[in-house]
Amino acid sequence: MTLLSAPRIFVSGLFPPGYIFPTFFLLTLLAATVTAWSHCGGMKGAFPPAREIIRGLLLSFVLLILLFPLKVFWFNPFFYSAIAETGNTQELRLIFPETFMPAIALTLWVVGFETLFFQAAAMSFFAKLTKQPGAAILLSTLLRFYVTWLRLVDMGVKNGEALIISHALLMNIISCLLFMRYGLLPPMFFIGGLSIYRWVFLWV
């Protein structure tokens, strides 16, 4: 997961490369919660039987196809405009990469760090805490809400905050459900596919 996250740290320019070392330790702790508690609350665990994983990957693929027109022709252009209005070109390029290498770095980041942090580790921790998968999904979604709200405030987004947050929460719920039922790989595939729709050079 650290190797997947490292390119984003390099290309973002926000943090020095030395941040890779604390990222390794953070991801080790997050991975530990997944390996220890991903069977809590009736969840299937990080790596259920192969048949279950394949079903999850197929479902993720179908969801990506269904979401393609919504994401590419409506939400992403709206989100792009909302960030562009802030004048924060650095954040705009990070969220909507304009060239291939930053785009790959974005996808690797969301496949690795974001999936582990917002879905797998959060679901495992809250399922251990509550013993209820429904409560784990709710608490994981509240975590996503808080982080997304902080990011929008930090970027200075003033237009469409409710829509942007609602979208993030919906995608998080879908990803949490995929993790709960099919393990780690399907939500990684799903979130990674959604990030490709943000490769701005493919649709601008």
* 116 band by pLDDT with thresholds 50, 70 and 90: very high
Written as six digits, the tokens of 146 are 């808080």
AA identity, residue 17: P
143-194 per-position pLDDT tens digit: 999 999 999 999 999 889 999 999 999 999 999 999 999 999 999 999 999 9
Identify the pLDDT of residue 14: 65
Burial of 138 (0-12, 13-18, 19+ CB in 10 A): middle
- pTM (2 decimals)? 0.93
Written as six digits, the tokens of 153 are 């405030």
56-78 per-position pLDDT tens digit: 999 999 999 999 999 999 999 99
Degrees to nearest 5, angle at CA 79 with 155 and 92: 50
User: In angstroms, how far is the first alpha carbon of the chain from the final one?
Assistant: 30
Percent of the chain predicted with pLDDT > 90: 81
Kindly state the average pLDDT of the residues 13-34: 84
Identify the pLDDT of residue 121: 96
